[in-house]
Structure 1
Amino acid sequence: MRRLGSVQQKIPCVFLTEVRNEPSRKRDCQQFQVVATENVHPAALQSDVHCAVATEKIDGTCCYVTTYRGEPCLWARLDRKPTKQADKRFKKYQYSQKTCKGFVWDVDKDFREVPESWIAAHRVQHENGQPVPDEHGHIPGWVPVDQTNKQYCWHASVVNYDAGVALVLKTHEEDEGLLEIVSVPLADLMEQTLELIGTNINGNPYGLGSKKHPVHVLVPHGVLRIRNPPPVEFQQLYSWFQECQEGRVEGIVWHCDDGTLVKIHRHHLGLKWPVGDPFLNTRPVVIHVDETPDPDASEKDLFKSFSSINGKLFSCIRDIPFEP
């Protein structure tokens, strides 16, 4: 089974889109929304999207595994964004020109500072050694997850750097209908991107853990295949999201043979997300975490918690009990 595409940039919609002057269903305070038309994007057609692998789009925050100071490390997504003043100029230009093309940035002055350890994402264009912002005025990038940095405490909860492992949710190798939570060597995840989901991420649409005992896991991108994907056609996709149990997902990401990624989000079709009973919560899950817990670890240490229920099977990830 080939490894599917790494998510380093914003993924375009599989359909051509248009902007409507009505409040966004996805972002509060945004007075417009981007919706799909019925026309498949020419780039998707060129990449033969009809033969692509369809996978579930997971609602979390993007992460990346690569080296830091010579060791495998989890990195958190951190886009370098414009200062308030530069952003005002950018939006004024967009409003007057009806496009963002042609706007000139001064990267040294127009963008907020980032930590020294920050790196630009793959395929970010550079000019004169400086990264160039994308069409949204952002420079996608990453920062290493330091277990002492409270800003990334939920990222840090899913890695144990001393043992060199991470907590991963994936499809069971022998049963496609079964999920498993496993401890995976970080070295085995090198150069992959993953989605961090859980109690304190994006409103917790999958219902993991609780305030008293937060639970987070990493989901490698492309690991949750859609077994009976609908054709890439507007009405059939709309019906699939509305009527099929497997369609109770945030969206679909198609992985084309040439490496191109395209997606559809429920919001592109005017549909609600999150939904009350997402498809991820219809699949049983088995725990395979047998790390020797640190005797000094907190009772809320996830590796310790999962080790205590190693080998057990649950009806879904939401039903994993951690309360004392």
Structure 2
Amino acid sequence: LGRSRGGWARSVSGLDPAGDCCRASPQLDWALLESALSTRTACWAHHEALGLRAAENAVCVCDGSERGAFRQKGASDQPYLWARLDRKPNKQAEKRFKNFLHSKENPKEFFWNVEEDFKPAPECWIPAKEIEQINGNPVPDENGHIPGWVPVEKNNKQYCWHSSVVNYEFEIALVLKHHPDDSGLLEISAVPLSDLLEQTLELIGTNINGNPYGLGSKKHPLHLLIPHGAFQVRNLPSLKHNDLLSWFEGCKEGKIEGIVWHCSDGCLIKVHRHHLGLCWPIPDTYMNSKPVIINMNLNKCDSTFDIREPGGQRSKGASLCQEIST
């Protein structure tokens, strides 16, 4: 999930918050999309696996502002992985809110009593950085939710797949991104958490969103983090409905989950395949067409690793690089 001006990427279906994207409306307001983007200078980035789906798979590093983040935690200021967790209203409050929406146009006029109307949150929960606060209480967004974060702990079964991509002892995370020297390659590497501070990332893998990229197996699950905005669209389609539809259906680069426009004013706007009546997941995604380099160069990590090389020899802080085909 990308962020709109300090928040979440907006969907073109009425510019609804991205958290609702998994309930994509078939009515796509193209005039609204063109108007929104024509007033901004936008760079384009596609997110095959990056937050275009359910919000609970995001992570962040540092200030708790998006669905999965790395954040300083504890007295030692250790970088920490945080997972997106929205506070939602209880049944009674949700019913009042829906009735209000049917009779009014502006959800911001609805009065919330945060202490009584919302389900309890874990003590470690913090509101997202961009959330407005009044008298110390976070203000729900237009969907009646309060986006926030919880730290990913090793003993929390709810976030076991999140915790599988991070090692707090050695302060590293398993990250997928473009190879730094060859844009035609992908690279899986162990990245120091300190390099991910202030970033938001997406969790993909065997047990996430139906595993559209075919990673791992039930016996050997594999999960990875992808920094938001890591994959840019090179052959840009126009904003016309038919051109976007043709791009998603006929272009190799269009075999992705959606597009997020990164605008110069900080706003993020996205189009999901579902907005165009197209299916997801799909076979043979664009990301699966790229070869992958596995680079476990641990020399740049502060900790010393004991690695057994082929032949049984041991080496300290060694580098292991292997190329595989997806």
* TM-score tier after normalising by the smaller chain length: 0.7 to 0.9
Counterpart position of 1:302? none
Q: Show CA shifts across 1:52-91 (max 9, x none).
A: 2333342562110111111100000001111111111111
Number of residues paired by the alignment?
Answer: 291
Poorly superposed stretches of 4+, deviation over 4 Å: 4-8, 14-18, 24-27, 290-295
Deviation at 1:128, TM superposition (A): 1.4
Counterpart position of 2:54? none
Q: Distance in 2 between the 1:192 and 1:274 partners?
A: 26
The answer on 1:39 being equivalent to 2:42 is: no
Tell me, what secondary structure is at the counterpart of 2:210?
Answer: coil
> Is there any run of 5+ residues in structure 1 with no aligned partner, and where?
19-23, 296-306, 317-324
Deviation at 1:171, TM superposition (A): 0.3
Deviation at 1:43, TM superposition (A): 3.5
The answer on 1:65 being equivalent to 2:61 is: yes
Pick aligned residue for 2:8 from 4, 7, 10: 10
Supply the AA of the counterpart residue of 1:124.
Answer: I
Q: Which moved more, 1:60-69 or 1:71-80?
A: 60-69
In structure 2, relative to structure 1, the CA distance for the partners of 1:39 and 1:308 (3 Å cut) is farther
Tell me, what secondary structure is at the counterpart of 2:103?
Answer: helix
The answer on 1:94 being equivalent to 2:101 is: yes
Tell me, what secondary structure is at the counterpart of 1:312?
Answer: strand
Contact 2:184 2:290 in 1 (8 A): yes
Supply the AA of the counterpart residue of 1:223.
Answer: A
Identity %: 51
Tell me, what secondary structure is at the counterpart of 2:109?
Answer: coil
Counterpart position of 1:56? 47
Contact 1:6 1:192 in 2 (8 A): no
Counterpart position of 1:193? 200
Supply the AA of the counterpart residue of 1:314.
Answer: I
Q: Show CA shifts across 1:263-282 (max 9, x none).
A: 11111111111112211100
The answer on 1:152 being equivalent to 2:159 is: yes
Deviation at 1:16, TM superposition (A): 4.5
Counterpart position of 1:289? 296
Contact 1:287 1:309 in 2 (8 A): no
In structure 2, relative to structure 1, the CA distance for the partners of 1:234 and 1:91 (3 Å cut) is same
Counterpart position of 1:132? 139
Supply the AA of the counterpart residue of 1:193.
Answer: T
Tell me, what secondary structure is at the counterpart of 2:264?
Answer: coil
The answer on 1:311 being equivalent to 2:325 is: no
Deviation at 1:231, TM superposition (A): 1.9
In structure 2, relative to structure 1, the CA distance for the partners of 1:149 and 1:17 (3 Å cut) is closer
Pick aligned residue for 1:85 from 86, 89, 92: 92
Q: Distance in 2 between the 1:309 and 1:242 partners?
A: 40
Supply the AA of the counterpart residue of 1:90.
Answer: F
Supply the AA of the counterpart residue of 1:140.
Answer: P
TM-score normalised per structure 1: 0.82
> Is there any run of 5+ residues in structure 2 with no aligned partner, and where?
52-56, 63-71, 299-303, 308-316
Q: What are the within-5 Å matches in structure 2 for residues 139-178 of structure 1?
A: 139-178=146-185
TM-score normalised per structure 2: 0.82
Q: Distance in 2 between the 1:141 and 1:258 partners?
A: 23
Tell me, what secondary structure is at the counterpart of 2:194?
Answer: helix
In structure 2, relative to structure 1, the CA distance for the partners of 1:16 and 1:96 (3 Å cut) is closer
The answer on 1:250 being equivalent to 2:246 is: no
Supply the AA of the counterpart residue of 2:280.
Answer: W
In structure 2, relative to structure 1, the CA distance for the partners of 1:309 and 1:180 (3 Å cut) is same
Q: Show CA shifts across 1:71-128 (max 9, x none).
A: 1000000011111111111112223335534211111111111112211112111111
Tell me, what secondary structure is at the counterpart of 1:64?
Answer: strand
Deviation at 1:8, TM superposition (A): 6.0
Counterpart position of 2:283? 276
Q: Distance in 2 between the 1:126 and 1:8 partners?
A: 14
Deviation at 1:131, TM superposition (A): 0.7
Contact 2:260 2:270 in 1 (8 A): yes
Tell me, what secondary structure is at the counterpart of 2:28?
Answer: strand
Q: Which moved more, 1:38-47 or 1:119-128?
A: 38-47
In structure 2, relative to structure 1, the CA distance for the partners of 1:135 and 1:310 (3 Å cut) is same
Q: Distance in 2 between the 1:54 and 1:183 partners?
A: 24
Counterpart position of 1:112? 119
Q: Show CA shifts across 1:175-201 (max 9, x none).
A: 111000000000010010000000111
